[in-house]
Amino acid sequence: MIFVLSVVLTVLLLCTSGSVAAPAAHFFDERAPTVSDALLKTFNLMEQYAGAAYCPGNTNKGSIGTEVECKPDGGICPVAEQAKTDTLTEFQDQFKTDVTGYVALDSSNSLLIVAFRGSRTQKNWLANIDMVSTDTDICKGCTAHHGFWTSWTEARSGVLGAIKNATLSYPNYKLVVVGHSLGGAIATLAAAELRASGHQATLYTFGAPRVSSDTLSSFVTNQPGGNFRLTHWNDPVPRVPPILFGYTHISPEYYIAQPNGVNVATKDIKVYEGSRNLKGNGAWIIQDFDAHRWYFGKIPICTGEPVKGRAIEKRGLKDGVEILADF
């Protein structure tokens, strides 16, 4: 019964749902014990690149070489749109898991970006609930959530090939890997493999669930390259799958201690160490699904674009809570 309830909770919690600033002037190759103004600007930009993965115009393979933008709701990722960023590879609704995202070149900030979308289709949801632990080839004895690992392996060939070619042409560009929700889980595995294959990659995730066992979480935590795992207020998604099932987070956590709709300052972001820390986001009992869709601004979903299948409405978890899951 506990397993069934946890599976249902995971399905609900991985539901997908900024602010304007100048492009960041500095990027971080290693973890930061505190948040500076420069790092805050970087977080804003990376959130918008993660959000842009929800926009089909950036992932539909028909617009490769065009600028990253957030239409039809133009203006919801202004920092990303201000940067001169063109896609190099796009992938949408691939294979068994519908893994979706893009690889892009940001010439304004000298960045190579790998971005993964969160849950939008039925196959994404099936990947979310596929919580059996499986072996990976990232490191010896390293296991991960089967659905997340399968999602990454289905995108792996195209992403690794695009990065190999791009780094030959742009050897001085920094590599960043970003994602929100399910996209953050896939981004974690992608960054781990990119690093293991010799790339210096910095990871930024927003509202990512737990991805792996202690062995792999520790491996990723200790790899060269910055890990910025951001959580927000009482977003419930970073609390699944349960620790009880053997899943842990990478460390550290960068916790946004402000509710929805509030401008975030450096003092509002607390840094907590540990793969099982119960501070920050983990200290909450009350859950707010809207907190999953708001970090430094709304995570863009490009609401005017068609979504496969149907929308299912779930009610009654507690008074006043309504969960909309796009299938």
Give the three-state DSSP class for 87: strand
- Indicate the SS3 state at residue 189: helix
235 assigned to active site: yes
Return d(Cα 136, Cα 138) in angstroms, integer.
6
Residue 24 DSSP label = P
Q: How crowded is residue 93: how many other Cβ atoms within 10 Å of its Cβ? A: 17
Q: Is the backbone peptide bond immediately before 241 cis, with ω within 30 degrees of 0?
A: yes
Among 98, 106, 130, 235, the active-site one is 235
Query: Is residue 174 packed enough to be buried (19+ CB in 10 Å), middle (13-18) or exposed (0-12)?
Result: middle
Q: Which of 145, 180, 249, 292 is catalytic?
A: 292
Rounded CA gap, 74 and 77, in Å?
A: 7
- For 111, the token pair is 């960045």
Residue 60 in contact with residue 306, Cβ under 8 Å? no
Q: How far apart are the first and last CA of the chain?
A: 25
Give the 3-state secondary structure of 116-185.
ECCCCCHHHHHHHHCCCEEECCCCCCCEEEHHHHHHHHHHHHHHHHHHHHHHHHCCCCEEEEEEECHHHH
Alpha helices in 14-85 (DSSP H): 37-52, 78-82
Q: Spell out a b/e string for 16-39, using b for 16 or more CB atoms within 10 Å of the CB, else e.
A: bbbeebebbeebbeebeeebeeeb
Give catalytic status of residue 181 as yes or no: yes
Catalytic residue, chosen from 119, 181, 213, 217, is: 181
Catalytic residue numbers read 181, 235, 292
